[in-house]
Amino acid sequence: MPHQNPFYVYALKDPREKPAKAFYIGKGTGNRAWEHQSKIDDSEKGYVIQQIHESGLNVLHTVIADNLTEEQALKIEAELIAAFGIRNHGGLLTNKIKPNPNTISKKIKINIPEGCYERAQMGLEFLKSAVMELAKANPNGIGNADAAKYLGLQSDYGGGSKDYLSYSILGILMNEGKIERTDKKKHIAINE
C-alpha cells in the first residue's frame, strides 16, 4: 500500500452564488473541513456560515488536494490564499491572515514515520467497527460511557475520567452518517 499523508487543503464555498465561490481556504486532517459548520465562531467566516444556514442551505466543501505532508499543505494553502486574496484587502476570502510562504518550514511541528498514519487508520477502522456492532446490538442506543466501559476504552490519564477516545469515535461515526444522537444523549446505529 503506498504511503498516505494525512493533510489536505480545502475550500468552503457559498452555495448562494452561482457558481459557488470560495469564501475560506484551509488545511487540516480528519474532519477539519466540516468542523467549521458544527462549531460556528464569531469570525467573518462564521458570519457567512450562519447566513448560509439561515437561507436553508449548507456550506459546500471541496478538498482541493489531499495526501499531503503538513509542509505541502501549508504551502498550497498560502498560495491559494494569496491568489484569491482576503476580504479586508479586496479579495474573496474571509481568512484572517495571509500566510507567509517563507516561514512555513518553521511551522512544521512533527515528523510522521513511514507507515504510522496507515496503522493508526487501520486501528481506527477496527474501533469504529466495534462501536457500530455495540450500537446495533442495543437498539435503544448507547452512551459514550457505555462505549468506553464495555469496549475497554476508558481513560485513566492523570486520574481523569473523560473518555475522549470513545467520544471521538462516536463523533466520526455521526459525521459519516452511521450513527445519530438522540436528545437523551444516546447514540443509535442508522440502518444501512
CB 82 within 8 A of CB 76: no
**Which position has the grid cell 480528519?**
30
Average pLDDT score, the chain: 85
**Rounded Cα–Cα distance for residues 92 and 87 (Å):** 5
Q: Is 71 helix (H, G, I), strand (E, B) or coil?
A: helix
CB 189 within 8 A of CB 176: no
Q: Average pLDDT for residues 15-36, to the nearest whole number?
A: 89
pLDDT at 105: 62
Q: Which of 1-5, 56-60, 187-191 has the highest mean pLDDT?
A: 56-60
Residue 160 — φ and ψ, nearest 5°?
Answer: -75, 160
Q: Which CATH number is associated with domain 116-189?
A: 1.10.10.10
E strands of the chain, at which residues? 7-14, 21-28, 60-68, 179-181, 187-189
Distances (CA, A) of 189 to 65, 79, 118, 131, 180: 32, 42, 26, 9, 7
Spell out the residues 6+ positions from residue 174 whose beta carbon is closer than 8 angstroms to its own: 180, 181, 187
- Range with lowest mean pLDDT among 67-76, 157-166, 170-179: 157-166
pLDDT at 101: 65
- Range with lowest mean pLDDT among 4-13, 28-37, 40-49, 51-60: 28-37
User: pLDDT tens digits for 86-141?
Assistant: 888 888 999 987 776 666 666 666 666 667 777 787 888 899 999 999 999 999 99
Residue 8 — φ and ψ, nearest 5°?
Answer: -145, 165
Burial of 136 (0-12, 13-18, 19+ CB in 10 A): middle
